Chain A
């Protein structure tokens, strides 16, 4: 199978800032679990990557991209992008990442293997930066009002505010 930039980005396991690990602990079930289990624990996200996707689009919407230094990165990851669900949403996230990078798509056809690898790391960093930006917005809101996200629909309303 010929390698392409999309496949290379899809196999990446993006990270998030260490400092935001508590947000994942607080709002998502780390290893999944049943819906009932999640509801009982008052967690809004069934998987870590859901909170990750939520934060990515929040950063994207608010144009907040905060680059993540290697030392700041969390040790745990949120699974490879190709495993995220739903698939259409995952693809859309990839499309947005490519769009934000802005490289004309025809150029990818001429890139050699090593160049594609390098580019895929750059694209992963775009994903991580927007997510980092989104998480910082959530943190700000959470610190202002610790009970804000305990209210029903708070994450939904936060999307549309």
Chain B
């Protein structure tokens, strides 16, 4: 099927008539800025065929009844008078695989009641017409089933549509969900002929079972060697029963392992990622702690400096001359007291010259005799008292006969404080400078830590986004769950291995006993029945092997094709991109992983754009690998903004791959545009880029049709829906 033309009348931002795009074979590029109607055009294709447009997630979920007059150009609704109708219409002209020209025209009428109030039926009208030799004639299709059937058979099969028509990166991620092994298996099955083999196997199992039943009945009828045959039959029944038990157990284990696989697919996280997350979390904690400590330290220093102004007395710096004045005044005061005291001491009687020592005086007092004048001095006598008075402790007290020094103590206290405050004042400045210097060193350290912290935050965001995690802690938990599931799976696999070995052993025994029974009853059994049974057994085994071989062949083919596309998109980027390998899980399903040259899985380390390029490559391979099905040659690819995660180089190679893979493709994109220097906030085609593309595609034998969506000058992007988009064929 090929799309020849689309016409849009008053459909969303395409107001008025004459909005026509003609499509050619090869690559049709629809270029437009954001808000220039690319997605509305994608919606037009879907609406005309399926009566639905896309939601915010790019899914076809919004029906005509959901949106009603939202389908109609706002400008047309604004221009029309009250109580008049406006019709939104999309007409699609295609030619199907049988060469039949078909038009599909869908319309919706809305009536303007007044101002911004509208009414409509909530239902659109679809007319499908086929062209005979001369003209298009409408078909009388009745009901939705008829229409769906017609579209599926004559235009495009609906089950492959999501792989051919998609909107944005979300669309491709949904179509090729590489994290879900079942989904990928479904895709492979749907787009291959594996299901045919499944039908063969099922039919063979059925026939084999019927033949065995016939054979068993024949055995039961036989009399010869009845006893022996009965025993063999009992043994066989027992074996059959055991095999049944093992089969059931295997089924349970396999279901369990499948569930575990699904859970693991959801949590897919390698040990390397866990290690990354763990290191990341440790680094983040360390930085946070250092930041807090440094911030506290430099704030403490600032506080300390403010406190030291007072507590270390820096504030008195430069007032030492006043301290000196105080000290002079105080010394005068103290000197005055010393002088007064000296004067008082001067008033005492002088101590006699040659006064004997205290030891001699005490001896005289003891002997009650004066050794100076050599005469007795009895205790109590005047002479004794005179000797006693010579002892220093008996000298007369100095009497303070001067005015009291009332301020002495208070001034002494002030003096002590003055000494405390000033005695190290020459070191104040150096101490303050040292603290200030230390503050700025710490402040710089803090700034560096803050920068590191910001960098870590950015890395965190990248890491979390890469693994689709909400938080590092969540990721750690997820990793732990993954490990625990992994252990569970290993245990289950071991159990399955044991059960399968037992099953094999029993099957061998069963075969042996069947052979014994056959030999025993050989003469009486219908030889055709025996042959039939053998034939169907070997047919079943052969069919299974053939299916396996075909499946492997298909996966090999898919792998080769995927890598061809993957390499073509990535090889010019300069970055490492590895190789896509399809890995088989325990249930026989496949999931893709990117491996390096040593065969190590590096999927989790790849960037978002590389993973997206892998998904594109798988999708292209699925559509193109099977030449017999050849979807890429039979149906057009329609993609709206498929490549915003790619850099410029990768985008070009993706476009090239689309052009060379599909017989017809329609790609709506923002690329190959540049600011128009002659118009405010408008674009023009990047002629150099387009010329390069045309030349490349020409060499590949692919035609390129370029259409640009434009908006009249002077319109604010907010009002674009209310005005018309202009289509320019370039």
- Asked if B311 is at the interface (CB within 8 A of a chain A CB), the reply is yes
Q: Which residues of A contact B318 (CB under 8 A)?
A: 57, 61, 159
Residue of A nearest to B404 (CB): A109
Interface of B is mostly: helix
Interface residues of A in 71-89 (CB under 8 A from B): 85-89
- Asked if B94 is at the interface (CB within 8 A of a chain A CB), the reply is no
Q: Which residues of A contact B332 (CB under 8 A)?
A: 104-106
- Asked if A140 is at the interface (CB within 8 A of a chain B CB), the reply is no
Report yes or no: B432 in contact with A5, Cβ–Cβ below 8 A.
no
Q: How far is the CA of A159 from the CA of B415 in the complex (A)?
A: 24
Contact with A along B401-419 (1 / 0, CB 8 A): 0011111001101110110
Contact with B along A27-55 (1 / 0, CB 8 A): 00000000100010000111000100110
Write the nearest CB–CB distance from B166 to chain A, whole angstroms: 55
**CB within 8 Å for A92 and B323 given contacts A5-B407, A156-B306, A159-B314:** yes
Report yes or no: B299 in contact with A39, Cβ–Cβ below 8 A.
yes
Q: How far is the CA of A88 from the CA of B424 in the complex (A)?
A: 14
**CB within 8 Å for A156 and B309 given contacts A89-B421, A99-B325:** yes
Report yes or no: B303 in contact with A92, Cβ–Cβ below 8 A.
no
Q: Which residues of A contact B313 (CB under 8 A)?
A: 86, 88-89, 92
Report yes or no: A155 in contact with B417, Cβ–Cβ below 8 A.
no
**CB within 8 Å for A6 and B407 given contacts A57-B319, A89-B316:** yes
- Asked if B680 is at the interface (CB within 8 A of a chain A CB), the reply is no
- Asked if B336 is at the interface (CB within 8 A of a chain A CB), the reply is yes
Q: Which of A45, A102, A155 contacts B329 (CB 8 A)?
A: A102
Q: Which residues of B contact A98 (CB under 8 A)?
A: 326, 329, 414
Q: Which residues of B contact A35 (CB under 8 A)?
A: 303
Q: How far is the CA of A110 from the CA of B404 in the complex (A)?
A: 9
Q: How far is the CA of A94 from the CA of B421 in the complex (A)?
A: 12
- Asked if B582 is at the interface (CB within 8 A of a chain A CB), the reply is no
Report yes or no: A105 in contact with B319, Cβ–Cβ below 8 A.
no
- Asked if B305 is at the interface (CB within 8 A of a chain A CB), the reply is yes
Report yes or no: A110 in contact with B417, Cβ–Cβ below 8 A.
no
Task: Classify chain A: how many residues form its interface, as a range.
Answer: 35 or more
Report yes or no: A86 in contact with B322, Cβ–Cβ below 8 A.
no
Interface residues of B in 267-320 (CB under 8 A from A): 299, 302-303, 305-306, 308-311, 313-319
Q: How far is the CA of A42 from the CA of B636 in the complex (A)?
A: 69
Q: How far is the CA of A157 from the CA of B436 in the complex (A)?
A: 9
Q: How far is the CA of A88 from the CA of B325 in the complex (A)?
A: 18
Q: Which of B310, B429, B436 contacts A86 (CB 8 A)?
A: B310
Interface residues of A in 7-26 (CB under 8 A from B): 7
Q: Which residues of B contact A153 (CB under 8 A)?
A: 302, 305, 432, 436, 439
Report yes or no: A105 in contact with B330, Cβ–Cβ below 8 A.
yes
Report yes or no: A109 in contact with B322, Cβ–Cβ below 8 A.
no
Q: Which of B315, B407, B411 contacts A89 (CB 8 A)?
A: B315
- Asked if A137 is at the interface (CB within 8 A of a chain B CB), the reply is no
Q: Which of B299, B407, B418 contacts A91 (CB 8 A)?
A: B418
- Asked if A122 is at the interface (CB within 8 A of a chain B CB), the reply is no
- Asked if B420 is at the interface (CB within 8 A of a chain A CB), the reply is yes
- Asked if B50 is at the interface (CB within 8 A of a chain A CB), the reply is no
Q: Which of A7, A85, A95, A160 contacts B432 (CB 8 A)?
A: A160
- Asked if A100 is at the interface (CB within 8 A of a chain B CB), the reply is yes
Q: Which residues of A contact B302 (CB under 8 A)?
A: 39, 152-153
Q: Which residues of A contact B303 (CB under 8 A)?
A: 35, 39
- Asked if B180 is at the interface (CB within 8 A of a chain A CB), the reply is no
Q: Which of A54, A105, A109 contacts B315 (CB 8 A)?
A: A54
Q: Which residues of B contact A53 (CB under 8 A)?
A: 310, 315
Report yes or no: A99 in contact with B322, Cβ–Cβ below 8 A.
yes
Q: Which residues of A contact B336 (CB under 8 A)?
A: 106
Contact with B along A89-117 (1 / 0, CB 8 A): 11110111011101011101110000000
Q: Which residues of B contact A95 (CB under 8 A)?
A: 323, 326, 414-415, 417-418
- Asked if A123 is at the interface (CB within 8 A of a chain B CB), the reply is no
Q: How far is the CA of A45 from the CA of B326 in the complex (A)?
A: 28
- Asked if B333 is at the interface (CB within 8 A of a chain A CB), the reply is yes
Report yes or no: B323 in contact with A96, Cβ–Cβ below 8 A.
yes
Contact with A along B435-465 (1 / 0, CB 8 A): 0100100000000000000000000000000
Write the nearest CB–CB distance from B400 to chain A, whole angstroms: 13
Q: How far is the CA of A93 from the CA of B308 in the complex (A)?
A: 17
- Asked if A145 is at the interface (CB within 8 A of a chain B CB), the reply is no
- Asked if A60 is at the interface (CB within 8 A of a chain B CB), the reply is yes
- Asked if B422 is at the interface (CB within 8 A of a chain A CB), the reply is yes
**CB within 8 Å for A91 and B413 given contacts A96-B322, A98-B329:** yes
Report yes or no: A156 in contact with B326, Cβ–Cβ below 8 A.
no
Q: How far is the CA of A61 from the CA of B302 in the complex (A)?
A: 24
Report yes or no: B421 in contact with A105, Cβ–Cβ below 8 A.
no
Q: Which residues of A contact B410 (CB under 8 A)?
A: 4, 6-7
Q: How far is the CA of A102 from the CA of B329 in the complex (A)?
A: 8
- Asked if A2 is at the interface (CB within 8 A of a chain B CB), the reply is yes
**CB within 8 Å for A106 and B333 given contacts A57-B316, A89-B316, A159-B314:** yes
**CB within 8 Å for A109 and B305 given contacts A89-B313, A95-B417, A102-B329:** no
Q: How far is the CA of A50 from the CA of B413 in the complex (A)?
A: 22
Write the nearest CB–CB distance from B442 to chain A, whole angstroms: 11
Q: How far is the CA of A86 from the CA of B329 in the complex (A)?
A: 24
Q: Which residues of B contact A6 (CB under 8 A)?
A: 407, 410-411, 414
Q: Which residues of B contact A155 (CB under 8 A)?
A: 306, 309
Interface residues of A in 130-161 (CB under 8 A from B): 152-153, 155-157, 159-160
Pick the most buried of B319, B405, B422: most chain A CB atoms within 10 A of its CB: B319
Report yes or no: A57 in contact with B315, Cβ–Cβ below 8 A.
yes
Residue of A nearest to B314 (CB): A159
Q: How far is the CA of A105 from the CA of B329 in the complex (A)?
A: 7
Write the nearest CB–CB distance from B422 to chain A, whole angstroms: 7
Residue of A nearest to B319 (CB): A60
Q: How far is the CA of A44 from the CA of B406 in the complex (A)?
A: 40
Q: How far is the CA of A39 from the CA of B304 in the complex (A)?
A: 12
Q: Which of A2, A99, A104 contacts B333 (CB 8 A)?
A: A104
Write the nearest CB–CB distance from A16 to chain B, whole angstroms: 16
Report yes or no: B317 in contact with A160, Cβ–Cβ below 8 A.
yes
Report yes or no: B306 in contact with A104, Cβ–Cβ below 8 A.
no
Report yes or no: A156 in contact with B406, Cβ–Cβ below 8 A.
no
**CB within 8 Å for A108 and B406 given contacts A39-B299, A96-B323, A99-B323:** yes
Q: Which residues of B contact A99 (CB under 8 A)?
A: 322-323, 325-326, 329
Report yes or no: B310 in contact with A50, Cβ–Cβ below 8 A.
yes
Report yes or no: A156 in contact with B436, Cβ–Cβ below 8 A.
yes
Report yes or no: A86 in contact with B314, Cβ–Cβ below 8 A.
no
Q: How far is the CA of A44 from the CA of B302 in the complex (A)?
A: 10
Q: Which of B305, B326, B420 contacts A88 (CB 8 A)?
A: B420
Please list the 9 inter-chain residue pairs (A to B) with the smallest Cβ-Cβ separation, ordered nearest first: A91-B417, A99-B326, A61-B318, A99-B325, A105-B333, A92-B421, A88-B417, A6-B410, A95-B414
Could you write out 10 A-B pairs with CB less than 8 Å apart? A39-B302, A60-B319, A94-B414, A99-B323, A105-B329, A105-B330, A105-B407, A109-B406, A156-B308, A157-B432
A50-B310, A105-B333 known, 15 other contacts, Cβ within 8 Å: A4-B407, A6-B411, A53-B315, A57-B319, A86-B311, A89-B315, A91-B421, A92-B414, A92-B418, A96-B322, A98-B414, A105-B407, A109-B404, A152-B302, A153-B436
